[in-house]
Structure 1
Amino acid sequence: MKDGPGSAGVTVIAEPDAAAPAAAASAAQTIKDGAANLARQATDKARDYVAEGKTRAGGALDEVSRLMGDAADAVDEKIGPQYGQYARTAAEGIAGFSESLKAKEIEDLMADATAFVRKSPAVAIGIAAALGFVVARLVKAGLDSADDTAQVTSPTKSPDA
């Protein structure tokens, strides 16, 4: 048999490239490293958001506590000191919760939330639904407010002018 372009019935078998498995392993490792890097970045970003939320929640709870403490004096005058004391006790409880929240590490907060959901899944679902409803109402109110300010009425001319 002849070797060449015109020969019939000759089968040429190519030798496998010895570097192919190493290249595939290198590509797989590159993909794994990239995925690990993205996961690390996402985790860092999530931690940043949680830390910011923790700070904001602590500030908001401090404000609610202060407002309730201020309102307790008015409750003393209008309803009676016993009810004012209830308001002060509630304000102290909120302030204590705020301090506890600010003192905890993010990992501890996540562990507490996970434990709460495992312990009381129905309550957790109810809280999530209520928060979703509140957020939806706030967004709708914001959109309605934006629509109201965007609608400008033109002045009408009187018929005798």
Structure 2
Amino acid sequence: MVESTIDDTTTPGADAAKSHFTKAVDEAKAGAHALADEYRAKFSQKKDSLNEEAKHCSDEARGKADAFAADAKAKASEYAVEGKAQTSKAIVRLSKVIDDNVAYIDDKAGVKYGDYARSASKSMQDAAARLDEKSFEELGEDTRAFVRSNPTLSVGMAVAAGYVLGRLFSKSS
């Protein structure tokens, strides 16, 4: 009988301890869930804040890039127009040099070659005039049409121009 008394007195205390322990564990779990929810909310807010900041920085960078591209396009257009004018002037100057030397060509090589020189000079003057009349976009379209219709000649001209430019730059270095 002594044993049953000990078991009876320990059991109610153990049940109370188990109940108390279970409540403590439940409270700890609830606290942990509340803490996790709080951190999730803070993380979500921080994530949203960082996303907004990243979007703002991205939009700002895109705006700066667009402005830079527009400036570069405007500058390139200015340089292209200036280059077109300089090219036209150079063609006219070369034509005048040929015109100035036609009499010499007539005397030394014959009238037939002088006529070739006059014809070349006239063609160069006409080309310079056409160059001045056309816009840069029209010249670009004409170039594309020429390359499409004469691909082999275009490649040959590009190789020759590259060779000449390479020789010029290698001598100047």
Q: In which range does the TM-score fall when normalised by the shorter chain? A: 0.7 to 0.9
Residue 115 in structure 1 maps to residue 145 in structure 2: yes
- Structure 2 residue 64 is matched with structure 1 residue 38: no
Q: Partner of 2:84 in structure 1?
A: 54
What TM-score does the superposition give when structure 1 sets the normalisation length? Answer: 0.72
Aligned to 1:73: 103
> Which moved further from structure 2: 19-28 or 131-140?
19-28
Deviation at 1:92, TM superposition (A): 0.3
Taking structure 1 as reference, are residues 122 and 42 closer, same or farther at Cα in structure 2, changes over 3 Å only? Answer: farther
Matches within 5 A, 1:63-102: 63-102=93-132
- The separation in 1 between residues aligned to 2:90 and 2:52, in whole angstroms, is 57
Higher mean C-alpha deviation, range 27-36 or range 57-66: 27-36
Residue from 6, 11, 17 that aligns with 2:36: 11
Quote the offset at 1:120 in angstroms. 2.8
Offset of residue 118 of structure 1:
2.9
Q: CA RMSD in A?
A: 2.5
Residue 25 of structure 1: how far off its partner (Å)? 4.3
Uncovered stretches (5+) of structure 1, i.e. residues with no partner: 144-161
* Secondary structure of 2:147's aligned partner: helix
| Worse-matched range after superposition: 130-139 or 15-24 | 15-24
Aligned-pair identity in percent equals 29
Extract structure 1 runs of 4+ deviating beyond 6 A. Answer: none
SS at match of 2:36: coil
Bigger Rg over Cα: 2
Aligned residues: 140
Q: Could you report, residue by residue, the CA deviation over 1:59-93 in whole angstroms, capped at 9, with x for unpaired residues? A: 11011111111222112222332321121111000
Counterpart Cα distance in 2 of 1:121 and 1:37: 37
Q: Which has the higher helix share?
A: 2
The one-letter amino acid paired with 2:61 is I
User: Structure 1, residues 4-39: CA drift from partner, whole Å, max 9, x if none?
Assistant: xxx656523226336666555444432332222122
Residues 119-128 or 133-142, more deviating: 119-128
1:89-146 per-position Cα deviation (integer Å, ceiling 9, x unaligned) = 1100001101111221112122222222333333322222221211111111112xxx
TM-score, length basis structure 2: 0.68
The range that moved more, 96-105 or 20-29, is 20-29
